[in-house]
Chain A
């Protein structure tokens, strides 16, 4: 089945130790999004890729970076995680012809110790 896959599902990292979260999709969608959702809060858009074009939200901290080496994969890099970065990170995709529908992955729960 076509889908959005996130790895790992659970990630524990140490304060200040760089961490990378992975998202892959078999939907061949042009757009990939990363959201951060802290406990008991709403998801918040961090950035998105429109094909290879990177679009950062104005309030996304510099500590968060992203890479999209090809259509299928997108990575979220946190350069120096702080305790406040502990959250669920959600990846989503959408296609140009049905851009109004986003397909969410299962999420990666990040713990910072």
Chain B
């Protein structure tokens, strides 16, 4: 059974600082996703990582995937208040062609203080 674990689960940081959120998963997969969720809202897709060594960056966020270590990281550079949200990683179980079966991590609630 695929298990996806994030850490930390809660993160409070100051504006301007750097930090990394980690996502570990238990079985082989080469499809990993990062989502952002604001309170009471739906999921917003941030990154789609489809191969070992994939690295993607958007603004102050950068995500990477190491399929051999079964580890993805979401790095935040020079955090700003607008990045406060809950961040989820999700891994595709890869059981079927043409569709996804995502297993989500617990989420990391990020609060950025002025």
Contacts and interface: CB of A to CB of B under 8 A. Distances in A.
Given A42-B88, A100-B31, A48 B45 contact: no
B100 A104 contact: no
Interface string A94-106: 1010011111111
Given A43-B88, A100-B31, A48 B106 contact: no
Interface of B: 31, 33, 40-45, 48, 50, 88, 92, 96-107
A100 B42 contact: no
A68 interface: no
Given A50-B96, A94-B99, A100-B48, A42 B42 contact: no
B101 A42 contact: no
Given A42-B107, A106-B42, A31 B98 contact: yes
A90 to B, nearest CB: 6
- Size category, A interface: 20 to 34
The SS class assigned to the B binding surface is loop
A90 B102 contact: no
Contact of B98 (A99, A102, A106): A99
B107 A107 contact: no
Contact of B99 (A43, A90, A99, A104): A99
Interface of A: 30-31, 33, 41-45, 48, 50, 55, 88, 90, 94, 96, 99-107, 109
Contacts of B106: 41-42
Nearest to A49: B99
Given A45-B103, A100-B31, 6 more contacts: A33-B100, A43-B104, A48-B99, A48-B101, A94-B99, A107-B42
A96 B48 contact: no
A102 B41 CA distance: 16
B102 A102 contact: yes
21 contacts: A30-B98, A31-B98, A31-B100, A33-B100, A41-B106, A43-B88, A43-B104, A44-B104, A48-B99, A48-B101, A50-B96, A55-B96, A55-B99, A88-B42, A99-B97, A99-B100, A102-B33, A103-B45, A104-B44, A105-B42, A106-B41
